[in-house]
Amino acid sequence: MASDFEEGLLVGLLVGEGHFGGDGRQPQVTLRMHDRHEALFRWLERTFPGGRLYGPYEHGGRRYYQWMARGAYLRDELVPLLRRALSPALDRYAYGRFLAMCERYARQLGSAPNSEDPADDAAAPVPEGDRGVAGVPPPADPSQLSRIFAALRTGGASPGRPPGAGTAPGKG
């Protein structure tokens, strides 16, 4: 089971570099980055074994890896995590893409949409205490994000995790 820190790192990677979408038949979350990040992808593979790692690929002179979450793992593990962690306050664009995926693939993800037009919901602010959109609860408690970011700034220390744990040699 992933720690809060590990889940936060995954969410951060997906917000910054991920793609929320699908192939028209099934939803998927994809993370694609240069092959210089191989160690990070291997960590994802170990820490979140329900996802699948592909690559390295070479295309147009660029080498990259791709991590994907689909099917039961996406529905039962990753989507609930993202529902807890994503909010417009964290990143409006990623939140909107996640909502659009949930809306488009509501049947496969087991969630009924709460709106006729997910684009309207993704662009509008979500007031505190709102019912959420497309089955996604209101924004995560900002104090949780502050704690996670503070842990990242101090070398990965978080409750139940010693300072420097999980950092590169000589960095912690």
Question: What is the 8-class DSSP label of residue 137?
Answer: P
63-81 burial, b at 16+ Cβ within 10 Å, e below that, comes to ebbbbbbbeebbbebbbeb
Mean pLDDT in residue range 60-88: 96
CATH topology for the 4-153 domain: Endonuclease I-creI (3.10.28)
Mean pLDDT in residue range 47-73: 96
Q: What integer pLDDT is reported at residue 143 of this predicted model?
A: 54
Q: How far apart are CA 153 and CA 121, in angstroms?
A: 33
124 Cβ contact partners less than 8 Å away, ≥ 6 residues apart: none
Tokens of 31: 């993370």
Q: What integer pLDDT is reported at residue 1 of this predicted model?
A: 85
Kindly indicate the confidence band of residue 110, based on its pLDDT and cuts at 50, 70 and 90. confident
| Mean of pLDDT over the chain | 79
Q: Give CA separation, 104 vs 54, 97, 142, 166, in Å.
A: 25, 10, 28, 37
Q: What is the share, in percent, of the chain residues with pLDDT greater than 70?
A: 64
Q: What integer pLDDT is reported at residue 168 of this predicted model?
A: 46
- Do residues 22 and 30 touch, judged by C-beta distance below 8 A? no
Least confident among 6-10, 11-15, 126-130: 126-130
Q: What integer pLDDT is reported at residue 101 of this predicted model?
A: 97
- Spatial CA neighbour of 107 closest among 50, 30, 27: 27
pLDDT tens digits along 78-89: 999 999 999 999
Q: What integer pLDDT is reported at residue 144 of this predicted model?
A: 60
List the domain boundaries for the chain.
4-153
Please, what is the end-to-end C-alpha distance for the chain in angstroms? 23
Q: What integer pLDDT is reported at residue 150 of this predicted model?
A: 64
Mean pLDDT in residue range 138-161: 57
pLDDT tens digits along 119-141: 434 444 443 443 343 444 444 55
Q: How far apart are CA 120 and CA 159, in angstroms?
A: 38
